[in-house]
Amino acid sequence: MEFLKILGIKEKNFGSCTGTKWNETTTEGELKIYSPTNGKYIASVYQASEQDYENIIKTGEEAYKVWRKMPAPKRGDIVRQIGLKLREFKRPLGTLVSYEMGKSLQEGMGEVQEMIDICDFSLGQSRQLYGFTTQSERPNHRMYDQYHPLGIVGIVSAFNFPVAVWSWNAMLAAVCGDVNLWKPSSKVPLSAIAVQNILGPVLKENNVPEGVFSLIVGRGATIGETMLEDKRVPLISLTGSTRVGRHANQIIGERFGKAIMELGGNNSIIITPDADLKMAMPAVVFGAVGTCGQRCTSTRRLIIHDSIYDKVKESVVNAYKGLKIGDPLDEKNHVGPLIDKNAVGDFTKALERVKVEGGKVIFGGEVLSGAGYESGTYVMPAVVEAENKYEIVQEETFAPILYLIKYSGEVENAIDLNNNVVQGLSSAIFTNNLREAEAFLGAAGSDCGIANVNIGTSGAEIGGAFGGEKETGGGRESGSDAWKCYMRRQTNTINYGKDLPLAQGIKFNI
- Contact call for residues 182 and 53 (beta carbons, < 8 A): no
Q: How far is CA 116 from the centre of its chain?
A: 15
Q: How many residues would you count in the chain?
A: 510
Question: Residue 45: which of 217, 223, 221 has the closest Cα?
Answer: 217
Q: Rounded to 5, what percent of the chain is helix, strand, coil?
A: 40, 20, 40
Residues contacting 214, CB < 8 A, separation 6+: 16, 17, 18, 19, 56, 59, 60, 179, 180, 181, 182
Distance of alpha carbon 268 from the chain centroid: 18
Q: Is 321 exposed, middle or buried (0-12, 13-18, 19+ CB in 10 A)?
A: exposed
Residues labelled catalytic: 262, 296
Cα separation, 379 vs 364, in Å, equals 8
The CA distance from 332 to 316, in Å, is 20
* Residue among 121, 123, 118, 116 nearest 94 (CA): 116
Which string of DSSP letters, residue by residue, matches 269-317? Answer: EEE-TT--HHHHHHHHHHHHHGGGG-STT-EEEEEEETTTHHHHHHHHH
Report whether 489 contacts 483 (CB < 8 A): no
Around Cβ 65, how many Cβ atoms within 10 Å?
12
